[in-house]
């Protein structure tokens, strides 16, 4: 993450304010992420187990956010679900970013490669996002793997387009041409000229994809194509809460909904701040 706020980057003075903003949002988002990931394994044993004596309890001191129809503590379950969602989100966003970077760099290898990547990207952008997600998750037979693959295969095009654009811009610039003329290899150029310029873009892209990945994981689990229904996951909890809300058990939906919203919002803002900081003006990821 440090690359995003690398002080050696040549930044005009007027961007100092956005930089501080990015740092602030970054600290919030990363603190949330760290808290969820660190706290989930610390849940006491049995915190997630069912308890028939404590079914559908409203919030009370023993269960600060109440329990669901099977007597599971909502607070513990939400935390575990967030951790699970965040892990799936990190994995899926990572894979998606990787796809985008590979395709973006591949576009610099000649006109034909550029054309192929361009067409592929436009094609993927043209397809309805969630429909494609559902199709891939369904074809993979659902489950956690299905979600990760589906999200990874659907979130790369926007970032890939930026990568391609950026990489091309750098590859055709004068100093790269001079570098090549001085006998530097393609690899050397890629490492010393392309990479430093692309890293901030990659990180910003990853951060922006991440909340989308979490939200889509929740969406897929919600419609029953994602994580198995007895495992803690935000989408599963929301889907279960549907029938409980109708019975007046509002607390079953509140915690997972707010938790998901908080994390997604924090990363969305962090990503947005980063994008403004490092991206070309007007580019959207």
Partner 1 sequence: MLRPLSTAVVALSLLLPAQSEARSLVLAIGGEPDGGFDPVMGWGHYGNPLFQSTLLRYDAELNLVGDLATDWSLSDDGLVWRLSLREDAMFSDGTPLTAEDVAFTYTAASEAGGLADLTVLSEARALDNATVELQLSEPRITFVSRLATLGIVPAASYDEGYARQPVGSGPFQMVEWREGEQLVVEPNPHWHGGEIAFERVSFVFGSEEAGQALARTGAADLVGVPPSMADAAPPGMKVLHVETVDNRGLAFPMRPRAGETTEAGTPIGNDVTADRAIRVAINQALDRGALVALALNGHGRPAFGPADGLPWDNPEAAIPGNDPAAAMATLEAAGWTDSDGDGIREKEGLKAAFQVLYPASDSTRQALALGASEQLREIGIDAQPTGSSWDEIGALMHSQVVVLGWGAHDPSEIYYLHHGDYAGVDYYNTGHYAKPAVDAHLDAAEAATGFDESLAEWQAAAWDGETGFGPKGDATWAWMVNLEHAYWVSSCLDVGPLQIHPHGHGFPITHDLPSWRWTCE
Name the residues that contact partner 1, by CB under 8 A. 49-50, 52, 55, 69-71, 141-142, 224, 228-230, 240, 242-243, 246-248
Angstrom distance (rounded) from CA 237 to CA 253: 7
Q: Helix 74-106 vs helix 251-278: angle between axes, to the nearest 10 degrees? A: 30
| Minimum CB–partner distance for residue 70 and partner 1 (Å) | 6
Question: How many C-beta atoms surround the C-beta of residue 125 within 10 A?
Answer: 12
Tokens (6 digits) for 123: 């094609």
Query: Cβ closer to partner 1: 112 or 246?
Result: 246
| Minimum CB–partner distance for residue 130 and partner 1 (Å) | 19
Query: Cβ closer to partner 1: 61 or 141?
Result: 141
| Minimum CB–partner distance for residue 74 and partner 1 (Å) | 16
- Residue positions counted in the chain: 285
Contacts of 158 by beta carbon, 8 Å cutoff, 6+ apart: 100, 125, 205, 284, 285
**Composition of the chain by helix, strand, coil, percent to 5:** 75, 0, 25
| Minimum CB–partner distance for residue 245 and partner 1 (Å) | 9
Query: Cβ closer to partner 1: 49 or 173?
Result: 49
| Minimum CB–partner distance for residue 230 and partner 1 (Å) | 5
Query: Cβ closer to partner 1: 39 or 231?
Result: 231
Query: Cβ closer to partner 1: 69 or 90?
Result: 69
| Minimum CB–partner distance for residue 49 and partner 1 (Å) | 6
| Minimum CB–partner distance for residue 285 and partner 1 (Å) | 34
Angstrom distance (rounded) from CA 170 to CA 98: 20
Contact, 90 vs 155, CB < 8 A? no
Query: Cβ closer to partner 1: 3 or 224?
Result: 224
Helix extents (H) in 140-194? 143-154, 157-171, 174-181, 186-189
Query: Cβ closer to partner 1: 44 or 141?
Result: 141
Angstrom distance (rounded) from CA 180 to CA 199: 21
Contacts of 115 by beta carbon, 8 Å cutoff, 6+ apart: none
Tokens (6 digits) for 241: 């809460």
């Amino acid at each position: 993450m440090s690359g995003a706020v690398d002080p050696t980057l040549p930044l005009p003075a007027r961007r100092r304010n956005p930089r501080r903003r990015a740092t602030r949002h970054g600290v919030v988002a990363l603190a949330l992420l760290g808290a969820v990931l660190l706290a989930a394994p610390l849940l006491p044993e049995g915190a997630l187990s069912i308890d028939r004596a404590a079914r559908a309890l409203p919030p009370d001191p023993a269960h600060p956010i109440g329990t669901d129809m099977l007597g599971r503590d909502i607070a513990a379950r939400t935390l575990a679900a967030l951790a699970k969602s965040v892990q799936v989100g990190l994995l899926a966003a990572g894979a998606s970013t990787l796809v985008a970077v590979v395709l973006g760099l591949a576009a610099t290898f000649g006109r034909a490669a550029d054309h192929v990547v361009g067409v592929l990207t436009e094609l993927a952008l043209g397809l309805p996002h969630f429909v494609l997600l559902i199709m891939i998750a369904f074809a993979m037979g659902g489950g956690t793997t299905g979600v990760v693959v589906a999200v990874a295969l659907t979130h790369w095009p926007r970032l890939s387009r930026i990568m391609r654009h950026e990489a091309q811009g750098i590859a055709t610039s004068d100093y790269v041409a001079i570098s090549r003329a001085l006998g530097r290899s393609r690899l050397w150029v890629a490492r010393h000229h392309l990479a430093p310029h692309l890293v901030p873009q990659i990180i910003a892209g990853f951060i922006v994809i991440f909340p989308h990945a979490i939200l889509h994981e929740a969406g897929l689990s919600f419609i029953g194509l994602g994580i198995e229904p007895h495992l803690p996951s935000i989408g599963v909890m929301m889907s279960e809460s549907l029938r409980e809300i109708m019975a007046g058990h509002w607390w079953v939906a509140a915690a997972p909904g707010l938790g998901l919203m908080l994390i997604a919002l924090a990363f969305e803002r962090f990503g947005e701040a980063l994008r403004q900081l490092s991206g070309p003006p007007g580019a959207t990821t």
